[in-house]
């Protein structure tokens, strides 16, 4: 009974995950993964995980998530008037 109610959320989650994995793969291929030269935060998290440095990898991933949430909140606060005007209620 719950599945029909959440089907769109599950579908969006599935496509969002697929897009994120595709973006990571594109960055990994384009950067060449040259240690010390072409390092991005997601690539560094992967390298730390492969070296079994889970604490460092988790810390870097958590800081990346916090930076993203802070920027999202800042942008939503800054453009609250535009968002309120375009809201469909």
8-38 confidence digits (pLDDT tens): 888 999 999 898 888 888 887 877 777 777 7
Pick the closest to residue 26 from 14, 37, 42 (CA basis).
42
DSSP-derived secondary structure for 27-84:
HHHHHTT-TTTS--HHHHHHHHHHTT-HHHHHHHHHHHHHHHHHHHHHHHHHTHHHHH
Q: Where are the domains of the chain?
A: 3-86
| DSSP state letter for 1 | -
Report residue 1's pLDDT band, with 50, 70 and 90 as the boundaries: low
pTM of the model: 0.65
Q: What's the length of the chain?
A: 89
């Amino acid at each position: 009974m719950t599945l029909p109610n959440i089907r769109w959320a599950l579908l969006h989650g599935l496509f969002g995950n697929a897009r994120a994995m595709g973006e990571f793969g594109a960055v990994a291929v384009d950067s060449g993964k040259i240690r010390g030269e072409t390092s991005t935060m997601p690539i560094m998290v992967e390298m730390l995980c492969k070296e079994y440095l889970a604490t460092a990898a988790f810390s870097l991933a958590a800081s990346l998530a916090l930076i993203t949430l802070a920027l999202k909140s800042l942008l939503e606060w800054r453009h609250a008037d535009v968002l309120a005007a375009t809201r469909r209620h």
